[in-house]
A and B are shown apart, each in its own frame.
Chain A
Amino acid sequence: MIKLYDYELSANCYKQRLILSLLDVPYESVPVDFFPGLEHKSDEFKKINPLGHIPVIDDDGYVLWDAHAILVYLAAKYDPSGQWYPTGDPQLLGEAASWLLFAEGTTNTASAARLYVNLGYDFDIDVCRAGAHRLFRVLDEHLWFREREGLDWVCSGSHPTIADIAIFPDVVLSEEGGVSRLDYPALRRWTDRVKALPGFTIMPGVFPVGTS
């Protein structure tokens, strides 16, 4: 079974739990004492990932780290429909790659702001928040135009991709970092669509979509 080196409050680990749940792939979560234990920086953990960060997966001896790289691998391997990582469509694949890079940006801004507030990380909080708003503005406008074309997801296909999953946690947890989504209505509608996907799963700080 896939082992996921996991920290419950990590947005990047949540991305993996989310795709695994959406793809209905069983896995074992191996909790890492990321905080306050800093286990991911320990010599022991660096034998698993010399870069000293999580998430990491171990799929029957195949070890891979970096949140967005793991999404690529999991979708390519475990989605027989080929829709979550659309290798059969060069244009969609290009878009997915582009938005995965965008997700590196949301991780380094919105999720960094969250680490600053929640866990006391030493970041320039004003820079993080301003960067998050800059990216949210771009994504909100992008999604608004997508909606005008009758499309629901960040890439131009009719099915969500791992790009949605890479960006969603950074966005949906942003209020914890003091980054409000009040000014981004299309972004909020998109988070509700992600929450309505079959197999969607929550984490602390993420609420299921209203059932009423």
Chain B
Amino acid sequence: MTPTVATTCADPVILDQWHPLLPLDEMTADNVGHTILLGEQLSYQLDTDGAPVVWLAADADATALPVLVEYLYVWVCLGSPPEALFAIPEFAEPDRRNIHAGTIGVHVSAPRAIENFLDMGHFPYVHTDVLGAEPHTEVAEYDVHIDPDTNDVWATECVFYQPRAATTSTEGQMSDYLYRVPHPYCVILYKTTPLAAERMDVIALFCRPIAEDRIEAHMFLCLLDPDNSETVIRKFQQTIFGQDKPILENQYPKLLPLDPRAETPIRADKVAIAYRRWLSDLGVTYGVIPAA
């Protein structure tokens, strides 16, 4: 079955989300920029006070859409936005490096990209000798829960052997991971940092849905890494994502099936199963093949 790919979004759950448009520092007051979100052509520019303004390109009145500046990005909503975006308190810690590592276009739905990000099983095969290595291929049992207050999906107690977990690595390590899905198209990873035993690096993927089966993925980092240049840190992250990209683009169907019988999960996919069920419970229909 080839699912139909919608040209515009009629999904109120997705329309009412904040979506990451682009890094704030890529917007200027001198030029009007153009981009696409959920099939809609948008225009954007900084106003004379340096605040971002975004409007539908087809709107002759250029009515400003709701915008928010958070975690280095301009977020925009095409519907009725929630008051605030999910919290990443580490962003404000003074010794953190907050880095936009790049935006990469991928021909896949946002939920497929999120689900791949949640998967530890592919590390040894796709990120060989960096995030994983044979024979350390087993995904040990981990816990999954939904936070009753925020309704975020969490995977906790994840442990994986990584030859080179970060730019700050000098040797292989058992990495502790926490995964958090606070938004249908955004995912955050908390991971052991080689530099501080009690703290974790924060690595997030914020997907901007261009179309139902096409995204631009913003890679956001909030790291404890005082020494490496941004160039080196970006290279590390882009290399990882560049390895994921062809895997993502060869997934079929490009939309994520939510019917539990559609694809056969294994034990290691526990968080993916929870994510799919969570999308179903939210009523998301854009970027997915809803359960019958």
Contact = CB atoms under 8 A, between A and B. Distances in A.
Interface in A7-46: 7-9, 31-33, 35-37, 39
B105 A178 contact: no
Contacts of A8: 235, 238-239, 242
Contacts of B230: 33, 37
Nearest to B104: A118
Majority-rule SS of B interface residues: helix
A31 B231 contact: yes
Interface string A44-65: 0000000000000000000000
A204 interface: yes
Contacts of B102: 35-36
Given A204-B243, A207-B246, A39 B104 contact: no
A119 interface: yes
B23 A36 contact: yes
B235 A31 contact: yes
Contacts of A31: 231-232, 235
B246 A175 contact: yes
B249 interface: yes
Nearest to A114: B105
B18 to A, nearest CB: 21
A117 interface: yes
Contacts of B246: 175-176, 205, 207
B159 to A, nearest CB: 26
B5 to A, nearest CB: 15
A51 to B, nearest CB: 20
Interface string A109-126: 000000001111000000
Interface in B211-246: 216, 230-232, 234-235, 238-243, 245-246
Nearest to B101: A36
B250 to A, nearest CB: 8
Interface residues of A, number: 21
A175 B235 contact: no
Nearest to A29: B235
A203 B105 CA distance: 17
Which among A9, A33, A36 has the highest number of chain B CB atoms within 10 Å?
Answer: A36
Size range of the chain B interface in the assembly: 20 to 34
Contacts of A35: 102, 238
Interface in B1-40: 23, 26
A117 B235 contact: no
Interface in B172-195: none
Nearest to A7: B235
A204 B23 CA distance: 24
A120 B235 CA distance: 18
Contact of A33 (B103, B104, B231, B240): B231
A93 B249 CA distance: 39
A167 to B, nearest CB: 19
A120 B103 contact: yes
Interface of A: 7-9, 31-33, 35-37, 39, 117-120, 175-176, 178, 203-205, 207
Given A36-B100, A118-B105, 13 more contacts: A31-B231, A32-B231, A33-B234, A36-B102, A37-B230, A120-B105, A176-B246, A178-B107, A203-B242, A204-B239, A204-B240, A205-B245, A205-B246
23 contacts: A7-B235, A9-B238, A9-B239, A31-B231, A32-B231, A33-B234, A35-B238, A36-B23, A36-B26, A36-B100, A36-B103, A118-B105, A118-B245, A119-B104, A119-B105, A120-B103, A120-B105, A175-B246, A175-B249, A204-B241, A204-B243, A205-B242, A205-B245
3 A-B pairs closest in CB distance? A204-B242, A33-B231, A204-B243
